Amino acid sequence: MKTKLTRSQERVLSLLQTLDRAISAQSIYAELQNADQGVGLATVYRSLETLKIQGLVKSLVLPNGEAVYSMMPTDKHHLNCLNCGISLPIDVCPVHGLNTQLDRTHDFKIFYHTLEFFGLCDRCQSQTVA
């Protein structure tokens, strides 16, 4: 159930809507400070958590452990290189049907999912062979 957003949540959401990339909570805090829309860092984290629970924002934990946040346009899937850190998007969702099945069989509203594969990209594979 969605509730009315607080002013801080609206500011965070509005900023995320202007971006075409995922961003960390610290960067959101800095952007809001630069725009004279001062919000405390703890408030940014609380706002992100609320927006995530409401299905408006999603978070992704990068291989380095940092969480980044973005709007909820579509599910994202990636191949992540453990050596160089490159993240290659996968365009086709191999588990989309599973979302629908779980939603029906468990009466569970799924907002999004992530699918991450970790290994070595082609360039890093050839470097380790040489």
Same topology, domains 1-73 and 74-130? Answer is: no
* Higher pLDDT pick, 100 / 33: 33
Tell me the mean pLDDT in the region 26-44.
Answer: 92
Structure tokens at 99: 């979302």
Closest CA to 48 of 67, 74, 21: 67
pLDDT(130) > 60: no
Structure tokens at 98: 């599973």
pLDDT(59) > 80: yes
Structure tokens at 31: 């952007």
Would you identify the CATH topology of the domain 1-73?
A: Arc Repressor Mutant, subunit A (1.10.10)
What is the value of pTM for the model shown? Answer: 0.59
Domain range annotation of the chain: 1-73, 74-130
120: alpha, beta or left, given left = phi > 0 and alpha = psi -120 to 50? beta
DSSP classification of residue 92: S
Reported CATH class of domain 74-130: alpha beta
